Amino acid sequence: MRRLLMAGNWKMHLDLRGARQLAAGLKRELGEVLDRDVVLFPPFVLLADVVDEVENSAIEVGAQNLHPEPQGAFTGEVAAAMLASVGCRWVIVGHSERRDLFGEKDDFLNRKLRAALAAGLKPILCVGEHLEEREAGKAQAVVEGQVRACLKGLDAEAMERVTLAYEPVWAIGTGRTATPQQANEMHAMIRGLLGGMFGGAVADATRILYGGSVKPSNAKALVAEADIDGALVGGASLKVEDFVQIVRA
């Protein structure tokens, strides 16, 4: 049975004091959680402080993004090895906000994924369709294209460290959520696709998270589905009580 993973993406929120308070509150409530994984994704400038705050607990820390090159003249960017050096263990790759707002394409995300793996990080690859694509009946084709392109060239061994997150773009920050059945249908399609690409054992072992307006009121129903292995949570991860309820769903 796949171990649940609950991830909190803080996006561009909180200052140093707020981040420390949130991390300390979550450590107090979740530091001993052992039957599922909990990962926090603060902004770059808060990473080291959050790592320090959750030290000696079951909570791990990841980054929201990375650059595929190991170093160089890339002002404002952060390399995978830099993230690892401050205690990061995870990194998000291909969030829809990176795709839509910053124009990141699948081939570029493939390079990021490889860079993350080379540095020993565990990436969460995000995929998902826009509302017009779903309404046109193209949702599965869009997601399949993203999965194939972003995972191109990876082998089964590398996939042992990769997590996927299905995030329908129309449900992110909108208050709208895919029904548990809609989400599970897409997760099952992704798992079948992974089976064809990497074999059944890899497909069965890979965790696929759901993201898109996850909150305490819907988390339990979502993770109860057979192919949903946890959640990538946005706004609800910024409040201790809300995220704790989601983690314990």
Burial of 196 by CB count in 10 Å (0-12 exposed, 13-18 middle, 19+ buried)?
Answer: exposed
Residue 220 in contact with residue 249, Cβ under 8 Å? yes
Question: Percent helix, strand and coil across the chain, each rounded to 5?
Answer: 50, 15, 35
**How far, in whole angstroms, is CA 92 from its chain's centroid?**
5
The residue type of 83 is L
Determine phi and psi for 196, rounding to 5 degrees.
Answer: -70, -30
Query: What is the rounded (10 degree) CA torsion for 56, 61, 67, 68?
Result: 70
Catalytic residues: 95, 167
The Cα diameter of the chain in Å comes to 49
Would you give the DSSP letter of residue 249? Answer: -
- What are 111's two structure tokens? 């390079």
Helices 106-118 and 139-150, interaxial angle, to 10°? 40
Residues constituting the chain = 249
d(CA 117, CA 121): 5
* Beta-sheet pairing, 208-211 with 230-233: parallel
